[in-house]
Amino acid sequence: MSKISGAESHIMEALWTRGPLTAEELVQSVGREQAWGEATVKTLINRLLKKKALKSERSGGRALYQALVSREEYVTGESQGLLDRLFGGQLAPLVAHYAQHRALSPAEVARLKKLIAELDDDGQ
């Protein structure tokens, strides 16, 4: 699957959260949120169809669009791409970067400690 652009991700997010939608429904929701016209939304839909990120089915005389890529697959791909581009594919430097440049809340620190403990448990 080809990479989903930032603009295209708005269309995908609407489909992930609200399920299959018509072009008109996407124009009404995403178009309004992003201040995009009908032509822009339909262009993004067509790009996503070509990338096989969504499919179109006829229902009641209208095309109904549905995501073929799960949100989890998208997030995993985007996350790995970020790690690869900026941190040599390594997670620890990413976490260290955020810890140095952004204050972590006690809840975030606790969550990271819990995750590390779970990873240690799985490794044994």
Instruction: Please tell me the distance from the alpha carbon of residue 16 to that of residue 104, in angstroms, as a whole number.
Output: 29
Task: State percent of the chain over pLDDT 70.
Answer: 98
Domain residues for the domain of 100 are: 90-124
> DSSP secondary-structure letter at 1?
-
Q: Which pLDDT belongs to residue 50?
A: 97
Mind listing the pLDDT tens digit for each residue in 14-28?
999 999 999 999 999
Task: Provide the CATH number for the domain around residue 56.
Answer: 1.10.10.10
Instruction: Please tell me the distance from the alpha carbon of residue 5 to that of residue 3, in angstroms, as a whole number.
Output: 6
Name the domain count of the chain: 2
Q: Do 53 and 102 belong to one domain? A: no
Q: Do 25 and 68 belong to one domain? A: yes
Mind listing the pLDDT tens digit for each residue in 66-109?
999 999 999 999 999 999 999 999 988 988 888 889 888 999 88
In this prediction the pTM is 0.78
Instruction: Count other C-beta atoms under 10 Å from residue 109's C-beta.
Output: 11
Q: Do 60 and 10 belong to one domain? A: yes
